[in-house]
Structure 1
């Protein structure tokens, strides 16, 4: 065990000798002083791992000593020990960044627990996380070897994300590699499940099937609207793991009532999945109602310009003649304007905001070398998401809504996956540019266990421009690359985040119901 050095200041230190002997026997080195001035002088000269201060010392009080120590040694944990249980003393100590607060009389084990919590917390958490994951590793592996249904895949993915966040926190590289390998295996098995069942799920009239993009609004959101005013925040391209790092930040304003995952339709892109979300219809049904809707490439931003109209039609179709608003935020100024004008829409029964930051981040990652450096992997990607949120108008918006006691639903249209396995494909000039799925005529590609070809798009309610159009979706960590300038594009897009295909991260997406903290 590392040798820790403790400074203990108490004007009755002689009475605490049994405690000091106890700590010595546990391997801790303890230096004692009887007043705040000596404690301050010693702490400036010597490096201590933790400092214990009696609150009621003659001369310089414990609180005064604490403030002066923090000016010079802001990162050294200081524990206040006192007989005084007055609330204002506790509040003042907490406000002065006290690490712990113990009420006399204290026993040696209380002191030991405080030391372990403050100095050995990370080691103890690391050890526990490692042993717990190794235990669950075998359990998850056995589950992955079974034939899982759509509900079981949601449970497995939640477990994998839980361990991803936990292992991130402890920083164990070898454990992270094991988990990434297990998640990769999970994605391969999930792809097979979707490839086998997707057409059946989409065409099944029974209720025993996943909630999809085109049914989530009717099944989940409309019942909420009928009961109370509801604010829907759709953060484009938000993965479940990104939600998990935003959750503790949002918890300051809202508590999570339910945390579900639903299935994005294929392709897992904005022009298909998000339009289906707002229309309550599959893409070919939207195309039938709005001829030419899906002509051209998905990079045409106009493909999502009818969302408000699609939403209005869906509400009307479900018998809801209500006052609602729809807004889209694609930059900082629009986010600020939304916050400034929030009071103008709070009387609506339904408000919907599409927030595009995360989607822009994933696209920008392949365009900007500096962003590649900042987000080399999933861990960094999550970190950037959290950092952005802390300084964004979105956090302010959520705080404003919580003050008005508005029910909040946070969801998305699809996720994204980091790709690193290039797969050659041949298409003509009308073939789309997405790297996780292709649609076109006469597509040429080598067979793979992790490609899903749909020769009859109408079988899964997808539109086609030409009579011979087919779709092909990538699974695993594959991404499509044309033969021309092959190496250049492989180097450009390898280890970037892409969407449109079939993976746990792209398909299983968050649907979160929150209520304001009372």
Structure 2
């Protein structure tokens, strides 16, 4: 398919010597207007619409840099490629500082000029035209792979691939491809939930062959740094999905070398369970049996989205003792809910000097998830997952948390950054049956004699199989699968409408269970 003709100004005092180059560009479909000086180039830009300016740096009268400045003052968005005989680095730096889009050194051949024009004008279109082919080829490979037995590592790799395409497709308008991708994600999630139903209880009872779970994170990722005497920050961003991490990662690249990995959150994928498992190295049933006074504080309040993780510092200290990791002084522990607390945390972190271990919990993303569900204005700001990813990046880019990471990098400390669980957008309602004492979450519930549609949810009749505590013989759990959320039969239609397209957590999905754990090594 022939590309739409692009209009180019080429300003060079030796333009007569570039006729072959101009003919070559015209043969490739470009409309090239040659001029011999900067004033003519500026006049053309002011009179007509052009897509690109090729600008010689050394011209009599107005030189290239002056012309560049005047053109950008008139139209800041027009791309400019500077062409020069001068190879001095300071000139290149000055031109880049004035927002040129590319820089070529003479002599240049026609193919070099064509390549620069394509990079500047058509790379997005060319890439977009290839997206469908690339996506179809890669997904066909995954479909073939899924025909055989999938390992836990295969599911992580598949989910990473899906998230990377989520982020890639955010930049393009191909709605058909996005629809196909969402369909593939839904299909993958359906198979993943079946896989978890078959294998999860085996993972938690046969630990020697299980993948990395919440209970393994400190042992696997944090303890080795402590044993080697490296000052370490263990940072938990509550409710951070892998695709959200991909939005944040580029903002930390200037300060850290980054090692990406993922682990599986335990079930339910909710803070009282997964985050306590993270800090304790124990499953919820083990916490309840070993430290009943801690678990009673967690489980005694029926509002499971409240502040239930009041003993994380103590649980972390006990886990390190069990791992025989000795540090002095004991870990510092900081929990942050608000911007003001984040600013105070920055001042505290700046005062640390080779502290062996600092554990920090940031609740912003979890708060954002729940705020979006409750406030209509937040749904308008972030109506879909792409907008929610963009909102995550915008928050991090302008929050004190980013500054905190710069402070940590300047200290030469290592960071283990992770989360306790992710979240999933609830698109389909399913009926839950219980009494008034049943917990209130929309993705998981515990109570007495709960029931559900087992096509849409997992019913746990024996909580000990899932290493979950039960306060009575009739207590059980139900966990929603894929993108379902629980609604009671009473006022079903009203609650279905109210909670549709909201983010929730606590159930079984790739978004909730496969979560990032990233090691950040400070750059010199």
Confirm or deny that 1:353 pairs with 2:360. Answer: yes
Q: Pick the aligned partner of 2:507 from 493, 501, 510.
A: 501
Whether contact under 8 Å (1:237, 1:415) holds in the other structure is yes
> 1:262 — aligned with what?
263
The corresponding residue for 1:311 is 316
**What's 2:498 paired with?**
492
Q: Which moved more, 1:328-337 or 1:404-413?
A: 404-413
CA offsets, 1:192-248, max 9 Å, x none?
Answer: 111111111101142x21111112111221112212111122111110111111111
Structure 2 residue corresponding to 1:473, chosen from 479, 496, 500: 479
Match of 1:238? 240
Matched, 1:39 2:46: no
- Please list every run of 5 or more consecutive structure 1 residues that lacks an aligned counterpart in the other structure: none
Give, in angstroms, the shift of residue 155 of structure 1.
1.4
Report the counterpart of residue 300 of structure 2 in structure 1. Answer: 295
SS at match of 2:464: helix
Distance 1:169 1:42 in 2: 32
Instruction: Select the residue among 386, 402, 406 that pairs with 2:409.
Output: 402
Which whole-Å CA distance do the structure 2 matches of 1:385 and 1:346 have between them? 30
Q: Measured at CA, do residues 300 and 245 of structure 1 come closer, stay the same or move farther in structure 2, by a change above 3 Å?
A: closer
Offset from partner CA, 1:434-492 (integer Å, 9 cap, x none) = 111111112133332x3211111122211122221011111121110012222221111
2:142 pairs with one of 115, 140, 143: 140
Answer yes or no: is 1:458 the counterpart of 2:481.
no
In structure 2, the partner of 1:437 is: 444
Q: Equivalents in 2 of 1:513, 1:447: separation in Å?
A: 38
Any conservation in 2 of the 1:295–1:465 contact (CA below 8 Å)? no
Q: What residue in structure 1 maps to residue 215 of structure 2?
A: 214
Matches for 1:24-423 after TM superposition, within 5 Å: 24-206=26-208, 208-227=209-228, 228-256=230-258, 258-288=259-289, 289-291=291-293, 292-293=296-297, 294-299=299-304, 301-322=306-327, 323=329, 324-423=331-430
Alpha-carbon displacement from aligned partner over 1:315-338 (angstroms, at most 9, x marks no partner): 222223322211011110111111
Distance 1:377 1:221 in 2: 35
Report which stretch shifted further, 264-273 or 316-325.
Answer: 316-325
Alignment partners' CA distance in 2, 1:232 and 1:171: 38
Q: Secondary structure at the match of 2:486?
A: strand
Cα contact 1:232–1:410 (8 A) shared by 2: yes
Note if contact 2:221-2:416 (Cα within 8 Å) is conserved in structure 1. no
Instruction: Give, in whole Å, the separation in 2 of the partners of 1:14 and 1:501.
Output: 70
Name the CA distance, whole Å, in 1 between partners of 2:97 and 2:305: 52
Could you tell me how far apart the structure 2 residues matched to 1:38 and 1:275 are? 69
Counterpart contact for 2:15–2:34, Cα < 8 Å: yes
Q: CA deviation at 1:301?
A: 2.8
> 1:246-273: CA deviations, max 9, x gaps?
11111122121x2111010000001110
Residues 278 and 311 in structure 1, CA contact (< 8 A), matched pair in contact too: yes
Q: Distance in 2 between matches of 1:28 and 1:444?
A: 67
Deviation at 1:343, TM superposition (A): 2.4
The TM-score, its normalising length taken from structure 1, stands at 0.97
Residue pair 1:129, 1:166 contacting (<8 A) in 2 also: no
Q: Which residue of 2 aligns with 1:512?
A: 518
Inter-partner Cα distance in structure 1 for 2:307 and 2:179: 41
Q: Distance in 2 between matches of 1:446 and 1:311?
A: 38
1:300 deviates by 5.5
Question: What is the alpha-carbon root mean square deviation over aligned residues?
Answer: 1.3
Label 1:144 to 1:487 Cα distance change in 2 as closer, same or farther (>3 A). same
Task: Point out where structure 2 has 5 or more consecutive residues left out of the alignment.
Answer: none
| 1:136-179 superposed Cα distances (whole Å, 9 cap, x missing partner) | 12222222333312121111111111222222222311001111
